[in-house]
A and B are shown apart, each in its own frame.
Chain A
Amino acid sequence: MKIKSIHIKNIPNEEFKDNEYLEQYVEELKKNGTSVAVTKLSDLLNWGHSNSVWPLTFGTSCCAIEFMCVAAARNDFARFGWEVTRNSPRQADVIFVSGTIVKKMAPVLKRLYDQMAEPKYVIAMGGCASTGGPFQSSYSVVKGVDQIIPVDVYIPGCPPRPEAVLYGMMQLARKIKLENYFAKERLEIKENVPLAEIAKENKAAKQEKAAAAK
């Protein structure tokens, strides 16, 4: 599938320089046997989803201030249909993990993610959420939220500039456009097991299945 065909209203397609990850994403979906042929109905759904993504009000530290800047006067993400932040995870589509996640917070974040309704997305905002950032050598910091919940877009920076956050948001909108909602592959989430292990298990099960099919 050609990435050129992704069309979002706000930024023209040529402006995006890094398309590799979306190409990889499509490749991966194909390899796993997921259908990527986008039907008219899912096209319509994607159009709706990608133009009204409502974030959860969730900020743990410094990045939350920059997130507020994105929401407030000058940058104003409501222009892109990201309209309002929601205080309840039940009403939110995307969670911006803005700030460090520590070991005490990890179960809380997981619970919030579980409470969100499908389709749900995660943006790791800033160094801490992506990899642990400046707190890599700490005894209490989770080194990247992808150890707890699956992440769709990583935004680098400490904290990222509002422009960088907007760019990350647009990338998520493009990713949503690409999806075939009805054939979306979902990870089976189990209680009290870190995500990395679940992913490993799923992969192993898939390989077994493929071997059995041969």
Chain B
Amino acid sequence: MENLKEKIKAIAPSAVFEENTQVLTVDVDKNELRQLAENLKNDESLAFDYLQDIIGLDLGDALGTNYRLFSTKNNNQALVVKTKTEDRENPALQSVSDLWQSANLYEREVYDFLGIKFIGHPDLRRLFLRPDWKGYPLRKDYDIESNPITLKNESVEEFEGSEKLELDSNGHIKESNFQLFDDKDYVVSFGPQHPSTHGVLQLRVSLNGETVKHIDPNFGYIHRGIEKMCESYTYPKILHLCERLDYLSAAINRHGFCLCVEKALELEIPERAVYVRTIFDELTRIASHLLGWASMANDMGAITAFIYGMRDREKIMDIFEETAGGRLFTNYSVIGGLMQDIHPNFQKRVKEFIPYMRKMLKEYHTLFTNNPIAKQRMLSAGRLKIEDAISYGVTGPSGRASNWHNDIRKIEPYAAYNKVNFNEITRENGGSFDRYMVRLDEILESLSIIEQLIDNIPDGDYKAKTKPIIKLPEGEFYQRVENARGDFNIYINSKGDKTPYRVKFRSPSETLVSALEPTVKGEKIADLIMIGGSLDYVIPCIDR
């Protein structure tokens, strides 16, 4: 740690290390950011190759960004680099989008919400909001009534062109025009209303014959402004919004937010709640992977598989309903423990489900995996290399299929994951078939985790005592959880009030969609749908 601090100090003399933070946090001047970033990425001894998130903040008198970095080669060393600009009229920072591919969308997101321009970004357009949207919603002085409903269609011209900012040799900012597609490009618009986009996502694909040349994702058709809403909600209220982000990992997201608040409050959770939460997480993961499998098979034309997947998912919904009362949204974890105790039938039902699911998995393999047509097609297209996976930040089952060991349950164990034995499923090739297989194998692992926990749920309370009004101490808090799509991160910036100052969710699906570019490039357009299915993204999680 000291070694790392010294190295950073040598590169950026203005660096100030914050004390009493969860993660090593360094403040740098905005002029030194670029140099520090280059060194952090390229220096072999530092090797911060995974940019997890860029968090934009309105600090009142300034606009800031936090870069959250990890080094996959260096024992997952974490680092937060902070910088800010005082200029609120024309805020500009240096771009890092050429160093980490994931920064491309993150910087566009910060520009969209806070209006910070990134010099050197190849394609700085709004990401979630319409090109004609007025104002930047995450600024504290934004008027929420300023954009009424309009039924005017978006203009494609505005949408495809943007100004590009660059520094010339004298250090002045110069503007040039950027066009996404050539006049000669053949562009196919796919979505937002299409059954195989898995939500309302628009992809514009330029083609060379039938071969994909370039993909431009367009988000925001389900941008609900959750992060802004969180700023005026109390912590228990935010839990409900967490579930509605990635609705297929609802229980896991909610659990993650509870963990983040509990960590900040230094609250001790009863063991019973920890065990039950873990079982709920794993059941959610199975339900999500089943739906992922079902919809991928459906995209490839196997409707029977879709029906089978949904049928078995209903069994999990029944278990949820009996104990928690909800199906898709269980509303079960609360800050301090659980909403209510488990149903007397809970253990019996889960124990019936485990052998049933194992039997069904065998059937899935006979029915679909070993079907020569399906297998051939999955094997033939959509390879994602490990370097791309890390650079684009593709976590979860899709990243593990490219042999990247990124399971948060192993790296930073939370809940009861350090009490159970399970394998991190990885595969070598990173093709569509590997992503497909990782998901099905993870169902088996989840079943084994549940099996180890279900008979050992300790007796005792299911909820710790909390104050009626929950106020978090001042500071910044991070919590990573492994949801069904990967690294879901919750960031809470608290000023000591009962509402947070800023909440940011890191969506694993966002990087999955951005990874379509390296995965699909050079493949046929018909395979785009299959590859999209194998990445298994959920759009409302991206749009937030």
Identify which of B137, B192, B226, B327 contacts A161 (C-beta below 8 A).
Answer: B327
Identify which of A57, A65, A137, A148 contacts B291 (C-beta below 8 A).
Answer: A65
A72 engages B247 (CB within 8 Å): no
Is B142 engaged at the interface, CB distance under 8 Å to the other chain? Answer: yes
B307 engages A61 (CB within 8 Å): no
Identify which of A72, A158, A161 contacts B307 (C-beta below 8 A).
Answer: A72
- Consensus secondary structure, chain B interface: loop
B246 CB, nearest partner CB in chain A, Å? 10
Identify which of B144, B311, B540 contacts A61 (C-beta below 8 A).
Answer: B540
Which of B199, B221, B232, B308 gathers most chain A CB within 10 Å?
A: B221
Stretch from A5-13, A42-50, A101-109, A199-207 that touches the partner: A101-109
Q: A74-B314, A100-B222, A139-B137 are in contact. Are A65 and B328 (CB under 8 A)?
A: yes
B291 engages A140 (CB within 8 Å): no
Chain A contacts of B154 at CB under 8 A?
104, 107
Is A168 engaged at the interface, CB distance under 8 Å to the other chain? Answer: no
B193 engages A112 (CB within 8 Å): yes
B150 engages A140 (CB within 8 Å): no
A residues 49-93 in Cβ contact with B at 8 Å: 57-62, 64-66, 68-69, 72-74, 85, 87
B residues 296-312 in Cβ contact with A at 8 Å: 306-308, 310-311
A61 engages B151 (CB within 8 Å): no
B142 engages A139 (CB within 8 Å): yes
What residue in chain A is nearest B543 (Cβ atoms)? A102
B540 engages A148 (CB within 8 Å): no
B297 CB, nearest partner CB in chain A, Å? 13
B225 engages A108 (CB within 8 Å): no
Is A193 engaged at the interface, CB distance under 8 Å to the other chain? Answer: yes
Q: A139-B147, A139-B228 are in contact. Are A108 and B247 (CB under 8 A)?
A: no
Question: Using an 8 Å CB-CB cutoff, how does the interface string of B187-216 with A read, 1 for contact, 0 for none?
Answer: 000001111000110000000000000000
B150 engages A62 (CB within 8 Å): no
Question: Using an 8 Å CB-CB cutoff, how does the interface string of A123-160 with B read, 1 for contact, 0 for none?
Answer: 00000000000110111111000011000000000110
Is A175 engaged at the interface, CB distance under 8 Å to the other chain? Answer: no
Question: Using an 8 Å CB-CB cutoff, how does the interface string of B150-166 with A read, 1 for contact, 0 for none?
Answer: 11111000000000000
B307 engages A73 (CB within 8 Å): yes
Contact size range, B? 35 or more
What residue in chain B is nearest A110 (Cβ atoms)? B151
Chain B contacts of A106 at CB under 8 A?
149-151
A residues 10-61 in Cβ contact with B at 8 Å: 57-61
Is B286 engaged at the interface, CB distance under 8 Å to the other chain? Answer: no
Chain B contacts of A119 at CB under 8 A?
none
What residue in chain A is nearest B224 (Cβ atoms)? A135
B224 engages A140 (CB within 8 Å): yes
Chain B contacts of A193 at CB under 8 A?
151
A60 engages B152 (CB within 8 Å): no
Question: Using an 8 Å CB-CB cutoff, how does the interface string of B101-145 with A read, 1 for contact, 0 for none?
Answer: 000000000000000000000000000111000000100001010
Is B223 engaged at the interface, CB distance under 8 Å to the other chain? Answer: yes
Chain A contacts of B350 at CB under 8 A?
none
Is B229 engaged at the interface, CB distance under 8 Å to the other chain? Answer: yes
Identify which of A61, A69, A107, A110 contacts B310 (C-beta below 8 A).
Answer: A69
Identify which of A59, A69, A73, A142 contacts B149 (C-beta below 8 A).
Answer: A142
Total interface residues on A, using CB and 8 Å?
Answer: 45
Interchain CA distance A106-B147 in the complex, whole Å: 13
Chain A contacts of B129 at CB under 8 A?
104, 140
Is B533 engaged at the interface, CB distance under 8 Å to the other chain? Answer: no
B residues 338-373 in Cβ contact with A at 8 Å: none
Is B329 engaged at the interface, CB distance under 8 Å to the other chain? Answer: yes
Q: A102-B223, A107-B154 are in contact. Are A60 and B199 (CB under 8 A)?
A: yes
Question: Using an 8 Å CB-CB cutoff, how does the interface string of B501-543 with A read, 1 for contact, 0 for none?
Answer: 0000000000000000000000000000000000000011000
Is B274 engaged at the interface, CB distance under 8 Å to the other chain? Answer: no
Chain A contacts of B311 at CB under 8 A?
72-74
A104 engages B130 (CB within 8 Å): yes
Q: A135-B224, A137-B232, A159-B328 are in contact. Are A61 and B247 (CB under 8 A)?
A: yes
B542 CB, nearest partner CB in chain A, Å? 11
B227 CB, nearest partner CB in chain A, Å? 10
A107 engages B151 (CB within 8 Å): yes
Q: A66-B328, A139-B144 are in contact. Are A87 and B225 (CB under 8 A)?
A: no
Interchain CA distance A40-B154 in the complex, whole Å: 46
Chain A contacts of B152 at CB under 8 A?
107, 192
Chain B contacts of A58 at CB under 8 A?
193
Chain A contacts of B244 at CB under 8 A?
61-62, 134
Is B248 engaged at the interface, CB distance under 8 Å to the other chain? Answer: yes
A145 CB, nearest partner CB in chain B, Å? 11
Chain B contacts of A62 at CB under 8 A?
244, 247, 328-329, 540
A72 engages B306 (CB within 8 Å): yes
Is B220 engaged at the interface, CB distance under 8 Å to the other chain? Answer: yes
A107 engages B194 (CB within 8 Å): no
What residue in chain A is nearest B145 (Cβ atoms)? A139
Is B240 engaged at the interface, CB distance under 8 Å to the other chain? Answer: yes
What residue in chain B is nearest A193 (Cβ atoms)? B151
Chain A contacts of B200 at CB under 8 A?
60, 105, 108
A147 engages B310 (CB within 8 Å): no
A69 engages B153 (CB within 8 Å): no
Interchain CA distance A74-B241 in the complex, whole Å: 28
Q: A62-B328, A139-B144 are in contact. Are A68 and B540 (CB under 8 A)?
A: no
B539 CB, nearest partner CB in chain A, Å? 8
Chain A contacts of B193 at CB under 8 A?
58, 108, 112
B151 engages A192 (CB within 8 Å): yes
Is A4 engaged at the interface, CB distance under 8 Å to the other chain? Answer: no
What residue in chain B is nearest A161 (Cβ atoms)? B327
A60 engages B229 (CB within 8 Å): no
Interchain CA distance A111-B154 in the complex, whole Å: 12
What residue in chain A is nearest B220 (Cβ atoms)? A104
Chain B contacts of A72 at CB under 8 A?
306-307, 310-311
A102 engages B229 (CB within 8 Å): no
List 24 A-B residue pairs with CB atoms under 8 Å apart, sorted by A's residue number. A60-B222, A61-B540, A62-B244, A65-B328, A69-B317, A72-B306, A73-B308, A74-B310, A99-B540, A100-B222, A102-B224, A104-B154, A106-B151, A107-B152, A137-B144, A137-B232, A138-B224, A139-B144, A140-B223, A148-B151, A158-B329, A159-B328, A191-B151, A193-B151
Using a CB–CB cutoff of 8 Å, the interface residues on chain A facing chain B are: 57-62, 64-66, 68-69, 72-74, 85, 87, 99-100, 102-108, 110-112, 134-135, 137-142, 147-148, 158-159, 161, 191-194
Given A191-B151, A192-B152, 11 other A-B residues pairs in contact with their CB atoms under 8 A: A62-B328, A69-B314, A100-B224, A104-B130, A135-B226, A135-B229, A138-B228, A139-B144, A140-B147, A141-B224, A194-B149
